[in-house]
Structure 1
Amino acid sequence: MPESHIIPWSDGTWTHAPQHTLETADAHLDVTAVEGSDAWRHTAYGFVHDTEHALLAPLAVGEAIDVSFRAPWDGQFDQAGVFIRIDDEHWVKTGVEFADGHLGLGAVVTDIRSDWSVGYVDDWLESEITVRVSRWTDALIIRAKADDGPWRLVRVAPFDGEADAAAGPFLAAPMRADLTVRFTRWERSAADVDLH
Structure 2
Amino acid sequence: MQVEFWADVICPWCYIGKARFEQALAGFEHRAEITVVHRAFELDPGRATVEPVQEMLAAKFGPRAGEMEDSVAQLARDAGLEYRLDREVGNTFDVHRLLHLAGERGLQQEVLNAVLHANFAEARSLFTVESLSEIAAEAGLDPADVKAVLDDPAAYADEVRADEKRARDLGVTGVPFVVLDNRLAVAGAQPAELFEKALNQAWEA
**Is the TM-score greater than 0.5?**
no
TM-score, length-normalised on structure 2?
Answer: 0.28
TM-score w.r.t. structure 1 length?
A: 0.29
Give the structure with the higher percent helix: 2
> Which has the greater radius of gyration?
2
Higher strand share: 1
